[in-house]
Structures are given as C-alpha cells and as structure tokens.
Amino acid sequence: MNTPPTLAPESSTPIAQACSALHAAYAKGWITHRDGNISVSDAAGDGFWISQSGVIKAQLNVAQMLHVPADRLVPGRAITAPAGASGEFALHQLLQALLPAGFNTVLHLHPTHIVAAMFANWDLRELSEQFPEVTRYTRVGRNVPPLAATSEELARACAASFAPPQSDMPHIVGLDRHGCVAIGHSPFDAFEHVERLEHVCQMVLASGARHTTTAQTVASGIKAAQAIQTA
Ligand SMILES: [Zn+2]
C-alpha cells in the first residue's frame, strides 16, 4: 500500500514544492515512478524550471530540475527540448507562455480515474459541472483528444484547450488515453486541481453511470485536434 504523501511546507520554494508534488502524486498512484513532469516559472522572470526526463519522479529532487532561460525560448514556437529535459518539454513551453499573472506551475500527471472517465467517453468539463466541490474552485477545460505522448501535436492541442476563445482559462484539462495537465499559483495549487477532478471522476465511475456517446479513436482524435487548431 502506498504511504501517505508528505507535502513540503507552504513556505518552501516553488522548486521544492514541485518535487514534493510529484512525490505526493506517486504516493496517490497517479503516476508510475518515472512518469509525470512539472515546470515552474523562474521567480526572477528568466524562463522556467522543468523536471528532467527519465529520473525517478517519486524521488524527484531540486538538483533534477533544469533551468531553461528565457533567451532559449521563442514565443508561440515549440523549440527543441534542451538536453535532459522532460519529454513533454513542448507542452510545458507552450503552456508556461500562456500562464496568467500570478500563476507559475504546469503539472502533468496520469491519474487513474481521470483517464478512466475519459476512456468511458466523459467530457471532463461536462462531468465536473455536476459537482460544486469542483466548480467552486476549479475550472475544467474540454478534453484533449488522443494524441501521441511527447508530440508537438499534443502540446498544441493542449495549449488550445487552455486558451478557449471568449471564456476564462481552465485550471485543468484531461488528455484522452493519457492523463491531465493542471496549472496553478504554486505546485500545490495545481496538485489540488488534479485532486478535485480525480475525486469526482472516481465517484462517477463508482456510480456505474455510463456516457452514451461513441468513443474517440486515435484517428478521430487527430481530426478533432486539427479542427481545434484551425478554429
Ligand atoms: Zn504523460
């Protein structure tokens, strides 16, 4: 059985909190021990910090967070990932550039019930609208269709889900067949958005309620992503 997560004190640095959030995600069974990734904007305004690829996230430490200076980044264009950076670097780069004032974190995890709910065809935004425990604190965006992990297509579709025209930016979106991405004022804030959505997904699945629409395939997911990007 997993041990209870231990979160660092709120006063800890965002980078220490980022490591602590991944330890807690592993303890909750939301990632296998190398999965998940996180980025935190640099407090001095010079780019962001991102978790390394391939390291054990269940034991992520501050020395395994890589700094990507602002002069390496090109706004709106996915650049080649710096050596050693998370495989989802493009996703973090595009979302870090979209973060509203006061937000610093992009967190990507694979929570079981969030993924299971999408696999059962639930749109997480519609599902969450039935639960005030989520809607009071957390805006949920439209699902990102099934696209290859670490691809630029996934990064762009995810950025599109976080930038809906004429509505507020969501705090979290689900990635069909994959996981979720949350943003926050801190790593713990992003973690709490995941926790709320995961909890209601668990309740809906436990109820046995079924969604009636047709499951998306990878091919229809790619088509849906192209439609989002050309809208
Ligand atoms: Zn992933």
**C-alpha–C-alpha distance, residues 53 and 50, integer Å:** 9
Q: What secondary structure does DSSP assign to 19-35, as a single string?
A: HHHHHHHHHTTSS-TT-
What's the predicted TM-score (pTM) here? 0.87
Quote the ligand 1 centre to 70 CA distance (angstroms). Answer: 24
Q: Where are the domains of the chain?
A: 14-230
Quote the ligand 1 centre to 111 CA distance (angstroms). Answer: 10
Range of lowest pLDDT (1-5, 129-133, 160-164, 218-222): 1-5
Q: What is the mean pLDDT of the chain?
A: 88
Q: Which two tokens mark 154?
A: 């996934």
pLDDT category of residue 79 using cuts at 50, 70 and 90: confident
Quote the ligand 1 centre to 177 CA distance (angstroms). Answer: 10
User: Among candidates 53, 64, 51, which has minimal Cα distance to 107?
Assistant: 51
Quote the ligand 1 centre to 226 CA distance (angstroms). Answer: 20
**CATH dotted code for 14-230:** 3.40.225.10
pLDDT category of residue 212 using cuts at 50, 70 and 90: low
Q: For residue 47, is pLDDT > 50?
A: yes
Neighbours of ion ligand 1 (CB under 5 A): 179
Quote the ligand 1 centre to 35 CA distance (angstroms). Answer: 7
Q: For residue 74, is pLDDT > 90?
A: no
